[in-house]
Amino acid sequence: GQTVLHRAPQPGRIGRTRQLGDGELMAAILGTKVAYDFRSADVAAGGQGAPLAATYHAALLKEADASGDTAVLNLGGVGNVTWWDGKDNIVAFDTGPANAPVNDFIKAKGLGEMDRDGRLAAAGTVDEERLALLLQHPYLTKPYPKSLDRFDFTAAMADGLGTEDGAATLTAFTTAAVGKALDLLPRRPKRLAVSGGGRRNPTMMAMLASRAGVEVVQAETLGWKGDAVEAECFAFLAVRVLRGLPISFPSTTGVPQPMRGGRLAG
């Protein structure tokens, strides 16, 4: 179900997570087994509860014979990266904000739901002084595992800026934060395969290349369906729930040991 609340764990306090959807009701209506509530067990065990896409991203990388030098970056409301060493080591964490702040900024200006095709950001000038201050946020250098709520970084980062400059500065922050995230990985990848809505923003993709210092390609380049990767991921996780296999790991959510999760109805 859609995550509507995510609170990462803090010292001495486990996190909180809330997803919409009633798995038991869905199973009764559909007449089939339904896997749901994928995050709660991980959070209860002290994990971040996110990101959960790592096992599927690693499977995609294995299928594409791409590891180590290629990582997966999903750009939804929040950005998350998955790196796989080609053997047993999978690392995943949230990089920082992705589309959420700039989308909210554009909505607040009454100019639609998003910066379509990155046109506004492309027409603006990045406030480099403000960006440098934003990039000092402690989350960006915090060791993984780590995770974010959609509202942990907001459009307020662009307060006082005009529409184009605000869009440019928020887009630059998203992409520069990815660069800082790549520096934390066991080996810095040379290429990012990008999924999620952010890959359709040419300005964001160009800034990724320049500000994160990495080659960027759309997920489709590797034969994936970039708009469907996250949906496919949870179908993949549902099969793992059905088979009693772990869906989160110490290097992805910080859970103490590989963790089976999710609930099965029907």
pLDDT of residue 227: 92
Q: Which residues have a Cβ under 8 Å from the Cβ of 72 and sit 6 or more positions away?
A: 53, 57, 60, 61, 81, 82, 192, 193, 195, 219
> Within this chain, do residues 169 and 250 fall inside the same structural domain, yes or no?
no
Mark whether 31 and 73 lie in a shared domain: no
**Residue range of the domain that includes 32:** 3-49+230-265
Same domain? 102 vs 77: yes
CA-CA-CA-CA dihedral for 194, 195, 198, 202, to nearest 10:
50
CATH label of the domain that carries residue 259: 3.30.420.40
141 and 211 together in one domain: yes
- Which two three-digit tokens encode residue 256? 């103490």
Instruction: Tell if the pTM clears 0.75, that is, is over it.
Output: yes
If asked whether residues 25 and 128 sit together in one domain, one would say no
Asked whether residue 67 carries a pLDDT value surpassing 80, the answer given is: no
The count of structural domains within the chain is: 2
Are residues 81 and 27 located together in one domain of the fold? Answer: no
User: Radius of gyration of the chain from Cα atoms?
Assistant: 18
Question: What is the per-residue pLDDT across 167-215, written as a single tens digit (0 to 9) for each?
Answer: 999 999 999 999 999 999 999 999 999 999 999 999 999 999 999 999 9
